[in-house]
């Protein structure tokens, strides 16, 4: 391997805002603490539990938009 082209790795503490879990890993970021919204302990993919991770009402906006599209399709089929 070439010398001087690889990043330096630092030990950092990761703090999850979703569940409050703290763990230590390596990162190229020089910060001592990284804050994440969701981690593998509380992510629905890894836990197998259905849970909406809502950031600023995005889930509700999507559900309203999707419901509106379904209603429009039903109305179009009824008139056709």
Kindly list the domain boundaries of the chain, sorted by start residue. Answer: 1-49, 54-80
CATH of domain 1-49: 4.10.80.400
- Tell me if 29 sits within 8 A of 10, measured CB to CB: yes
CA 44, CA 31: separation in Å to the nearest integer?
28
CA 62, CA 69: separation in Å to the nearest integer?
11
Interval 9-40: pLDDT, tens: 889 998 988 788 899 989 888 888 888 888 87
Q: How far apart are the first and last CA of the chain?
A: 67
CA 18, CA 33: separation in Å to the nearest integer?
16
Tell me the pTM. 0.48
* Poorest-pLDDT segment among 12-16, 53-57, 58-62, 71-75: 53-57
Burial of 37 per CB tally in 10 Å (0-12, 13-18, 19+): exposed
């Amino acid at each position: 391997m070439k010398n001087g082209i690889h990043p330096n790795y630092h030990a950092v503490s990761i703090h999850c805002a979703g569940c409050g879990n703290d763990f230590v890993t390596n990162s190229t970021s020089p910060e001592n603490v990284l804050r994440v919204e969701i981690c593998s302990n509380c992510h629905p993919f890894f836990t197998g539990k259905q849970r909406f991770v809502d950031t600023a009402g995005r889930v509700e906006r999507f559900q309203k938009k999707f419901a509106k599209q379904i209603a429009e399709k039903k109305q179009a089929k009824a008139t056709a």
